[in-house]
Chain A
Amino acid sequence: MIYLTDYQTASTTDTHMIEDISYPQRVHWFADTYARKDTGLVYAPHKLAEKVLNKTLLVDLKNRGGKTAFILAAGNQHFAGINPKDSEPNSLAYDYKMLPLTLTQVYAGRIAQACGAEDMVITDASACASSLKVMMNVHELFALYQFDRVIVLAVEDAVSNPVLKFFGESKAVLTKEQEEQGVLPSAFDQINFGFNIGQGAVFAVFENEKYAKNPHARLLGAYSASERSTNAIGQREDGEGFIKAAHGAMSISKISPRQINIIKTHGTGTKSNNTAERNALKTLFDHRFVATSYKQRIGHTMGASGLLETCLLLDNIKDCLITPIKNRTQRDSVFISDPLHIFGPQKILSLAAGMGNIYSAAIFDTQL
């Protein structure tokens, strides 16, 4: 048994319009992660990570004992060698004086040390699927390598010049111009669509039955897959990648589609994801499913999004109220447009997709 015993999340529904960049856009961000940036002494992704790194918990983890691994799911962010400037110096640009400390593996090693994970350190860069993709690693470490504990930190400072420029240029995010035309972020809807970028992080601790105390949920299984594709940043309309990932996760979890109570979609709300994910869910579940999405509320937190949104869903389940897909104008029986009251334990299917042709799925159960 793999239990999710602790988690801390950081995300925000607050938004801020960033004007002084090549593609002005609204973002969900913590302004304090960029405070003191001009000193050259702070690195925004680290400041974001610190929001979920509770010192008391880190010390406690260090003292728990057991064979422990640490995984840093860093999404698209190759921390090292970044050039945080846009075409011109702007409100997000900064020079960090300690580049060696931005190396992804170095940072992972430091956090692993702080939480006593002395048996394995892993980093992952599976783009926006990163934090769900590593659920497969978590499962393997317990099932094949007899780890007692796996700690996951998923963080990506999506509100950075390189990310905003890339997504603005490729018209993947909602621009200021679209916002002025009245478009609101939503998913699986005929009128509203798309997302804004958001900062987010999640710190999660998975433990076996020997160490788990007061767990929140069980991780039943996870799987990642690719699809037959001619374009590494595209998605097949039939949702093959999502289907393969979900099939794999259900198979390893020994769960049938009918046993899934609720689905956390990748739900970016882009035209291509709406089509691919909707078709995948139709193939997997016919029309017998209930699904939501969180990106319209907190932004697309990129590499952190899959696990972070799963933890938000776990919070919703504790509150017996599932958050609907924001700004959705349609009403149907499958995608939630209004708050949904639920009762009792739930089996969750979480989905994520990442550029580079990676699809991930994980199944959690709140029945302990």
Chain B
Amino acid sequence: MTEQELIVLINEIVLLATPLNSNMVDIQSLDDNLADTGLDSLDMLMVGIYLGDVYGVSEDDLKAIQATTVRQLFEYMCQHKTKEPKTIKEALESIQ
């Protein structure tokens, strides 16, 4: 997926994972700092688990996530993935 598609994907996942807080979150760039997105630590937990499902990352690996930016979050997923969706639609279908 392109960088632009990954940005769309992360915003869609935020919408699914944190339905009540999502209207305050708008991730514009992969270099956005996660701490500045408006997601709190529990929101981040949910987003991480949703994303982990998309990339088939094990729960143990998810517990060890260390990421400061959105880009680092995707990089971590790619390092530990067991699958990789080709499109946003395919990615979201696995978690909807």
Binding site for B on A (CB under 8 A): 36, 39-41, 50, 53, 55, 58-59, 97-98, 100-101, 106, 110-111, 113-114
Listed stretches B28-36, B44-52, B72-80; interface member: B44-52
Beta-carbon contact of A39 and B20 below 8 Å:
no
- A-B residue pairs in contact (CB < 8 Å), sample of 8: A41-B50, A50-B19, A58-B20, A97-B49, A100-B45, A101-B45, A110-B42, A111-B20
Candidates B17, B21, B46, B59; contact of A114 at CB < 8 Å: B21
Candidates A55, A111, A113; contact of B23 at CB < 8 Å: A55
Interface residues on chain B, number (Cβ under 8 Å): 17
Residue of B nearest to A114 (CB): B20
| Proximity string of chain B (57-96) to chain A, C-beta cutoff 8 Å, 1 when within and 0 when not | 0010000000000000000000000000000000000111
- The distance in angstroms between the C-alpha atoms of A100 and B40, with both chains bound, is 14
B96 to chain A, nearest CB (A): 6
Beta-carbon contact of A101 and B42 below 8 Å:
yes
A297 to chain B, nearest CB (A): 29
Beta-carbon contact of B20 and A41 below 8 Å:
no
Query: Given A50-B19, A111-B20 in contact, is the A39-B53 Cβ separation under 8 Å?
Result: yes
Residue of A nearest to B19 (CB): A50
Residue of B nearest to A47 (CB): B19
A-B contact count (CB 8 A): 36
Beta-carbon contact of B53 and A41 below 8 Å:
yes
- The distance in angstroms between the C-alpha atoms of A100 and B19, with both chains bound, is 17
Residue of A nearest to B18 (CB): A110
Please, which residues of chain A bring their CB within 8 A of the CB of B94? 39
Beta-carbon contact of A98 and B19 below 8 Å:
no
Please, which residues of chain A bring their CB within 8 A of the CB of B96? 36
Of all A-B residue pairs in the complex, the 5 with the closest CB atoms, nearest first, are A114-B20, A97-B49, A39-B95, A55-B23, A98-B49
Beta-carbon contact of B20 and A101 below 8 Å:
no
Residue of B nearest to A40 (CB): B53
Please, which residues of chain A bring their CB within 8 A of the CB of B49? 41, 97-98
- The distance in angstroms between the C-alpha atoms of A268 and B19, with both chains bound, is 34
Query: Given A97-B59, A114-B20 in contact, is the A41-B42 Cβ separation under 8 Å?
Result: no
